[in-house]
Structure 1
Amino acid sequence: MIPYIHVPPIKLGPFTLEPFGIFVALGIILAARMLARQAEREGLDSTPLQDYAPWGVGVGVVVGHLFHLFAYHPEELSKSPFQILKVWDGLSSFGGLIGGILAAVVFFRMRKLRFRDYADAFALAVTPGWAIARLGCFAVHDHPGVRTDFFLAVNFPGGPRHDLGLYDAAFLFAISGLLLVLRNAGKLRGKLLPLLALLYAFGRFFFDSLRSTDLSYVDARYLGLTPAQFGCFGLVAFGLWGLVKWQAPPSKDTPAVGPGDRVQAQVR
């Protein structure tokens, strides 16, 4: 059994750094850097991804907060009319995912780029970044599950429970490893993002079935399901469609240059 350890916020003069925010920031930084590197490895221009990153994060945070308020905890809207503006006070990872997707759709259309060419880079970069961010959930234990004697249970005050932040992070790290193995083996090229959607949907649906219902602050249920579980149906649909319909993008070779210059051909 894992002991319940409360990670206190870090005081830096007038500023307070919350453990959750630190892990989220680390996850975003890692994802942004890996996104550019993965794109370059595929012979793609990484500049659009660097330009997209702040838009993806910004829209993701806003939509994640709105999703938290209106889907998970609508009762919080009664606190203050300004609660909707406090984007730092309550975030839904699934809402953040939706926001990032919306930002990507608009951004890539405006740039007249085909998102599918960058899809593998997104899968390989976002997954480990998301896993690190979920460690922030584990650090603050804000996703308690039902009571259990499972060996990975956390000894919460009042008794051991599943800690879904830990499970989600571990599952995402495992998916990250699988995607990396497939990329290095040249398997499912151009289809890693649909595979990620499919795998995560099944894992997240199961984990959300373990969420607590006996505490004072629990997630809203609709027809017995959490908002994320409904979202998992969309991920499954996208994953199956992408695995069947998406084709591997053409290999990108470095264009030829003038005589005397070195040309490096990328071999796929």
Structure 2
Amino acid sequence: MIPYLHVPPINLGPIHIEAFGICVALGIMLAARLLSRQAEREGLDPNPLQDYALWGVGVGVVVGHLFHLFAYHPEELSKSPFQIFKVWDGLSSFGGLIGGILAAVVFFRIRKLRFRDYADSFALGVAPGWAVARIGCFAAHDHPGVRTDFFLAVNFPGGPRHDLGMYDALFLFALSGLLYALRNSGKLRGKLLPLLSLLYACGRFFFDSLRATDLSYVDARYLGLTPAQFGCFALIAFGLYGLVKWQAPAAKATPQVGAGGGVQAQAR
């Protein structure tokens, strides 16, 4: 059994930095770095991805907060009419994903870029970045599950429970390893994002079925399912469509310096 550890915040005068915020920031930085590196590896221009990062984070935070309020905890709207503007007070990771997708649709359309060319880069960056951010959820223990004697249970106050933040992080790290193994082997090129969507949706649907219902602050259910479980159906549909319909993008020619100092083109 895993002990319930409380990670104290870092106090910088009036500013209190929680472990959750640190992990989210590190996850975003890691994802942005890996996105750019993979784009360069594919012979793509990484600059649009660096510009997109601000769009994705900004829209993701806003939509993640709104999703938290209106889908998961609508009762919080009665606290104050200004609750809707407190984007730091309650975030939904699935809502953040929706925001990031919406930002990508608008951004890539404005830049007149084909998103599918960068799809593998997104998969290889988002999966490990999201895993690091989910460690913050584990540090905050804000996704308690049902009571259990499972060997990975966390000894919450009141008894051992599943900790779904930890499960999600472990699952995403495992998916990251799989995606990089496929990239290195050259398999499923151009289809890594649909694969990630399909596999993560299946895992997330199962994890959400373990969420606690016997605590005072629990997620809303609709027809017995959490909002994220409904979102998983959309991810599964996208994953199946992409795996069947998407074709590998054309290989890009990247400049290589030859032995005599001349520039040669090498297809990737």
With the length of structure 1 as denominator, give the TM-score of the two structures: 0.97
For the 8 Å contact 2:143–2:211, the answer to whether it is kept is yes
Mapping for residues 1-268 of structure 1, pairs under 5 Å: 1-254=1-254, 262-268=262-268
SS at match of 2:266: coil
For the 8 Å contact 2:256–2:265, the answer to whether it is kept is no
Distance in structure 1 (CA, Å) of the matches to 2:48 and 2:170: 30
* Structure 1 runs not aligned, ≥5 long: none
* Structure 2 runs not aligned, ≥5 long: none
Distance in structure 2 (CA, Å) of the matches to 1:48 and 1:224: 41
Distance in structure 2 (CA, Å) of the matches to 1:208 and 1:132: 19
Distance in structure 2 (CA, Å) of the matches to 1:62 and 1:262: 49
For the 8 Å contact 2:255–2:266, the answer to whether it is kept is no
Shift of 1:12: 1.2
List per-residue Cα deviations over 1:24-53 (Å, max 9, x = no partner).
Answer: 000000001111111000000001001100
List per-residue Cα deviations over 1:53-96 (Å, max 9, x = no partner).
Answer: 00100000000000000000000000000000000000000000
Alpha-carbon RMSD = 1.3
Distance 1:200 1:256, change over 3 A: closer
With the length of structure 2 as denominator, give the TM-score of the two structures: 0.97
Distance in structure 2 (CA, Å) of the matches to 1:255 and 1:156: 56
Q: Report runs of 4+ in structure 1 exceeding 6 Å deviation.
A: none
SS at match of 2:58: helix
Amino acid at match of 1:7: V
For the 8 Å contact 1:254–1:263, the answer to whether it is kept is no
SS at match of 1:145: strand
SS at match of 1:132: helix
For the 8 Å contact 2:120–2:193, the answer to whether it is kept is yes
Amino acid at match of 1:205: F
Amino acid at match of 1:187: K
For the 8 Å contact 1:175–1:196, the answer to whether it is kept is yes
Amino acid at match of 1:237: A
For the 8 Å contact 2:153–2:162, the answer to whether it is kept is yes
SS at match of 1:251: coil
Distance in structure 2 (CA, Å) of the matches to 1:116 and 1:230: 25
Amino acid at match of 1:106: V
